[in-house]
Amino acid sequence: MRLAVTISAIMAFGPAVSAQQTTDAISPESTTGLAQRTDAVRAQNWMISTANPLASQAGANVLSRGGNAIDAMVAVQAMLGLVEPQSSGLGGGAFLVYYDARTGTLTTLDGRETAPMAATDTLFQTASGEAMKFYDAVVGGRSVGTPGTPMLMATAHQKWGQMQWQNLLAPAIERAELGFSVSPRLAGLIANDVDRLKTDPAAASYFLGADGNPLPAGTLLHNPDYAATLRDLAQNGVDAFYHGDIAHAIAAKVQGATGNPGLLATDDLAGYQVIERQPVCASYRAHEVCGMGPPSSGGLTVGQILGLIEPYDIAGMGPDSVDSWRLIGDASRLAFADRGRYIADSDFVDVPVRGLLDPDYLADRARLLDRTTTLPDAQPGNPPRTHAARFADDTSIEFPSTSHFSIVDDWGNVVSMTTTIENGFGSRLMVRGFLLNNELTDFSFESHADGVPVANRVEPGKRPRSSMAPTIVMKDGKPVIAAGSPGGSRIIGYVAQSLIAMIDWQMDPQQAINQPRRVNRFGPYDLEAGTPDVDLAPKLAAMGFKTNVTDLNSGLHIIEITENGLIGGADPRREGLVIGE
């Protein structure tokens, strides 16, 4: 078997690899620098791109043994929960966009966390009614929602998997018992979060040494508790997570958190369900860009950005034109204004999904961009088919510590999955070898503004709004791109920018990923530090933009499906690896 791989991150892993929103200023995870940028990987039969070499290898082993994309997804997620624990795992949630080659259908699975049934819309307010400070809300049990990732893994496998469930969890079980080398990225993230990790004895004993100092890169880290949890799931199925000892341990941990206990109960776990939903698809230059609908804002907001710029010749302007970035930046601002007012869990709120992507509505909004300077203000529009209820604009915090991976198998099945525990290391609560999410802080901390309800307010059983944007792009009824990224609410800009680069500027996946990140959500233009974007800042400023040159921490993992084979890229801002055959 001949494998093609990227090499940008292998050396960083040493022997372990060779052996096998009150404000959006807080970053989801600290940046750890750019690795060497590499050429795109090409293959003929199958391909996988994830944020960690051990996860990519676990999935590649499944694909090379005849497993399909869903089988590989299970193995990848189980491994990511071990080697990239700050980003995703059994204690979090995920969105899956899946193309089934046999039936030619595209669907999505919603594994988003849910609010406890005992929650109220004042969950993140002080006794005086003020919104809590971000980390006061995050650290501890208050922020923990019902995890959805284990059930999403099992639901997808039951519907579409081929290999035995137990065999797919076995690689992560073995690696947890044998140990894995702490990567430079994980070591740096631990070092930046020592004080918060110390709030939970279980997390402290795992991520910190006996002296209380963070584990250095290269430490061989074992996780027998995680191995035991996975073994329980392997032997007894996903019910072992949502009922019995594991569920009781999670509820006890949340409710017993010192200083900031939460509400999650065993009944919340027992009642959790993954929801199969129709994808949200937006037309863009002879393509259908399909992603996750509410409770994610990703599919709708990416679709709006693309729809708003479609009347303009972005291809002719090119990637180096400041006019391109003026249009993209202001289109994003308009889309984010609609996002903040209208998008929330559609099982609780009448989200005008069709109206937000209505061609006439987007054409009307696009005319606002027909200018030479930045928009002085970006306000929400009035999309058609909006329910009579009106909502106040949302100011929720959203800083997911997240991971994304893309998979194409030998049969042409495609997985695009974004998976999260929210902020880096989630709630900082660790139980049975995995971290619990702080996903509830993706709700608006304010339930009303001037007496008008916020769509994304906390409600019992509700799923908080997300920006995760796992995407499959279709053309002529066939998938041509699988893409997605972590990065909090900047995910939307990262994904939109990469799709524009590939569709309009004819870049391959690695070229699109390697571009300097440029994101505008609420007015200020975030430009990636350490890149040529420092030269773009004064040009944008001359157009009226405020600019902010800063570290940006995307994690794009993209596969392009062409007539001549597969082309893959991995983000050099993470530790990603592409493997294909």
Name the nearest CA neighbour of 48 among 557, 564, 565: 557
d(CA 570, CA 578): 6
- Which residue out of 6, 402, 420, 471 is catalytically annotated? 402
d(CA 84, CA 215): 14
Backbone angles phi, psi at 466, to 5 degrees: -125, 160
d(CA 543, CA 523): 12
Q: How long a stretch of residues is the chain?
A: 581
d(CA 227, CA 265): 24
Secondary structure letter of residue 260 according to DSSP: S
Residue with tokens 């993954």: 274
- Residue 199 among the catalytic residues: no
d(CA 93, CA 96): 10
Is the Cα torsion angle 500, 489, 517, 317 positive or negative in sign? positive
d(CA 86, CA 403): 10
How many angstroms separate the first and last alpha carbons of the chain? 8
Structure tokens at 178: 């044998």
d(CA 78, CA 206): 18
CA–CA–CA angle 230, 234, 237 (5° rounding):
110
Structure tokens at 408: 């194409």
Is the Cα torsion angle 216, 35, 18, 53 positive or negative in sign? positive
- Confirm if 339 and 312 have CB atoms less than 8 A apart: no
Q: What is the largest CA-CA distance in the chain?
A: 65
What are the residues facing 270 on neighbouring strands?
Answer: none
Residue 306 CB contacts under 8 Å (≥ 6 apart), including other chains? 282, 284, 289, 496, 499, 500
If one counts every other C-beta atom within 10 angstroms of the C-beta of residue 385, the result is 12
d(CA 400, CA 396): 12
d(CA 519, CA 104): 34
d(CA 63, CA 50): 14
d(CA 88, CA 77): 8
Buried b vs exposed e over 435-458: b needs ≥16 C-beta within 10 Å? bbbbbbbbbbbbbeeeeebbbbbb
Active site residues: 402
